[in-house]
Amino acid sequence: MSVQLAEQTLSMNTPPISNACSTTIKIYQQIASITTQMCAAAIEKNWNHLLLLGQEYQDSVESLRNAPSALPESLEEREERTILLNQILENDAKVRDLAMPELGRMSELLTRIHKQKSMLQAYGQTTGSLLQ
C-alpha cells in the first residue's frame, strides 16, 4: 500500500512530458529494443535476421530524425534519454565486435572470387578437361 502511495505522489510531482518529448522517448526505446535484438541475432550468427533488423534500425533512426525536436523538460527525461543512448551505443559496439570477423571472412571470399574471375578472363575458360 505504501508503494502505491509513493508512486502516486511521484507521478503527481512529475511534470507532464510534452507530446514531442514523449514521441522521442518512444523512438529511443524502439531503437534500443531493435539493437538488443540485433545483438541476439549476431550472437546466434543469424546474419539474415541481423540484416532485416538493420533495416528496421535505419527506419527508426530516420523516424527520430524526422520527429519534432524537443528538449527534455525534466531531469528524469534527460536521464532516460541518456540511459537509452548508452544502451544503443553498447549494443551497437557488441554487434560490430561480433560481425567484424564475419565481415572479414566475407571480404576474403569476395577477394578470392574476384581473383578467380580475373584469371578466367585472362586465360579463358577451357571447354573441356584433359582427363575426358
Q: In the chain, what are the domain boundaries?
A: 30-95
Q: Tell me, what's the pLDDT at 118?
A: 79
Q: Coil, helix or strand for 15?
A: coil
Q: Tell me, what's the pLDDT at 12?
A: 39
Q: Tell me, what's the pLDDT at 110?
A: 82
Q: Tell me, what's the pLDDT at 129?
A: 44
| Among the listed residues 62, 54, 51, 71, the one whose alpha carbon sits nearest the alpha carbon of residue 27 | 62
pLDDT in tens, the chain (132 residues): 333 333 343 333 333 444 556 888 999 999 999 999 999 999 999 989 999 999 999 999 999 999 887 677 788 888 999 999 999 999 999 999 898 877 767 777 788 888 788 777 778 765 554 444
**CA atoms lying within 13 Å on the CB side of residue 97:** 9
d(C-alpha 109, C-alpha 101), whole Å: 12
Burial of 45 (0-12, 13-18, 19+ CB in 10 A): exposed
What predicted TM-score, i.e. pTM, was given to this entire model? 0.63
- Residue 37 amino acid letter: Q
Give CATH superfamily name and number for 30-95. Flagellar protein flit. (1.20.58.380)
Q: Tell me, what's the pLDDT at 7?
A: 35
Q: Tell me, what's the pLDDT at 93?
A: 93
